[in-house]
Amino acid sequence: MAIALFGLYLFVFAFWLYRWGSKSLSNLSKYLVLVGFLLRVAVGVFMAYYTENLEGNDSWKLFNASKEEVNCLIHHPGSFISDGILDNNGYSGNPFTSFFFRNSNNFYFNDLKDNIIVKFNAILNVFSGGNYYVNILIANFLVMWCLLALVKVFRYNLKPDSQWTIIGTFLLYLPLILWTSNIQKDMLCLMLLSVFLYCYSFLGDRYGYKRLLFWMYMFFSVLVLVLIKNYMAIILVGCTVMVRVANPNSTHFTKRFFIAFGLVFVFFMISSFFPNSINFPLLLARKQNGFYDIAGAQPIPSIPLTGNILSYIQNLPNAIFNCFFFPISKNLFVERIGWIGFAIFFLFLALTVLAIKYPRKSGLWSNAFFLMMFSFCLLNYLLIGESVAYYGALQRYRAIPEAIFCILILQLIDFKKINDLYISKKNI
């Protein structure tokens, strides 16, 4: 029965995407959407099969917990929303006190992240008959629409010379597919990010109640993102505020933006004198300590952080090498996950060389959206590099900003010039 349902959904979703692509995209793009969807489903199913009996994997544990929620969803939808989300989930005191960057197992918000995924799985169970593989298929169909929304957003804001640089990266970039094709926090983060960026980009075109709805969607997406990955939500909101403060309509926008960007680091350092609940260096150090407590595989070079800014400065070379380049660790050269990281490093190195050798004159460094997303990626990279102590986690945390970073670098390359050089050499 589950196989038949999976096949039926797969046919309906693939046909739906193909028909939509036939009306909205070019001939090649509609096939790209279809290939991207099938690839996502294949990777998601493979990862689910591979991790089904893997000790310590959360995906199946959270799915099994979701089966108990289906009856509550159908018969008591109010309790479904409140239980484990709006209540204190059995914890005493105020759960909203100082929850940022906490990583221990006994905190309310750490459990709340899992509860949100359990609830999401429970909703999918209604349509899948409680089969995890069908859940993955449905979830990736939803993710495809989120990715297509991101394609529209980036095309609208960046005006690319080559449309393939955006749609191709979002749909076929393998690290993004690998880490967001299974029902985990990263998949939900990608969906929430797409909702926020879509509403932010097209808010000005909406009036009346539609404008109010867009504001509500933005608020909801940030709120849930805070609960799942608070650092990503903080950075996203911070970058949005920097753009608004710098005023994109000003002739000095770029200068103002980079001044605001520098003030972010000043605020981070000054916050070390704040109370512990808003002492960001201390909170980030706790997050790193949480990674040490987990004791994952493939450890990477890092220095234990404290609330002291000097510890961050000392660890900065490791953070840059770990996230922007490749961790200096012998073990990773013989691990498959290390090969993936090495391939990503050489890809970005090649793209950077092309961007320097064949720069595109497009005024991107004065483009508000480009600077907003560039700072979003850069701050995510620095935070991940400073706090994450294991390479598998680093690759997973980096997947979403990495795909966006790839798109931004591709926009800096003059592909028309490269194509003209190729044609001229071919004709010689």
pLDDT digits (tens, 9 = 90+) for 165-207: 899 999 999 999 999 999 999 999 999 999 999 999 998 887 8
Q: Which residues, 6+ apart, have CB-to-CB distance to 294 below 8 Å?
A: 390
**Tokens matching residue 370:** 């480009």
pLDDT digits (tens, 9 = 90+) for 354-387: 999 988 877 888 999 999 999 999 999 988 888 8
pLDDT score for 71: 81
Residues 55 and 103 in one domain: yes
The answer to whether the Cα torsion of 352, 249, 202, 232 is positive or negative is positive
Q: Which residues, 6+ apart, have CB-to-CB distance to 53 below 8 Å?
A: none
Instruction: State the Cα–Cα distance between residues 155 and 150, nearest whole angstrom.
Output: 8
Per the structure, the complete domain to which residue 93 belongs is given by 1-217
Residues 237 and 374 in one domain: yes
pLDDT score for 87: 54
Backbone torsions φ then ψ of 390, nearest 5 degrees: -135, 140
Distance of CA 251 to the CA centre of its chain: 32
Total number of residues shown for the chain: 428
Q: Is residue 297 part of a domain?
A: yes
Q: Is residue 223 part of a domain?
A: no
Distance of CA 285 to the CA centre of its chain: 22
Q: Is residue 14 part of a domain?
A: yes
**Tokens matching residue 69:** 């929620």
Domain count, the chain: 2
DSSP helix/strand/coil, 162: coil
> Of 217, 237, 269, which residue constitutes the final position of a domain?
217
Q: Is residue 224 part of a domain?
A: no
pLDDT score for 337: 64
Those residues of the chain that have pLDDT short of 70 are 55-56, 82-112, 291-297, 326-338, 426-428
Cα angle, residue 341 at apex, residues 322 and 54 outer, rounded to 5°: 105
Q: Which of 31, 35, 145, 155 is nearest to 407 (CA)?
A: 155
The answer to whether the Cα torsion of 253, 361, 169, 346 is positive or negative is negative
> Residue 407: what residue type?
I
Q: What is the pTM of this model?
A: 0.89
Residues 211 and 258 in one domain: no
**Tokens matching residue 360:** 């595109």
Residues 211 and 242 in one domain: no
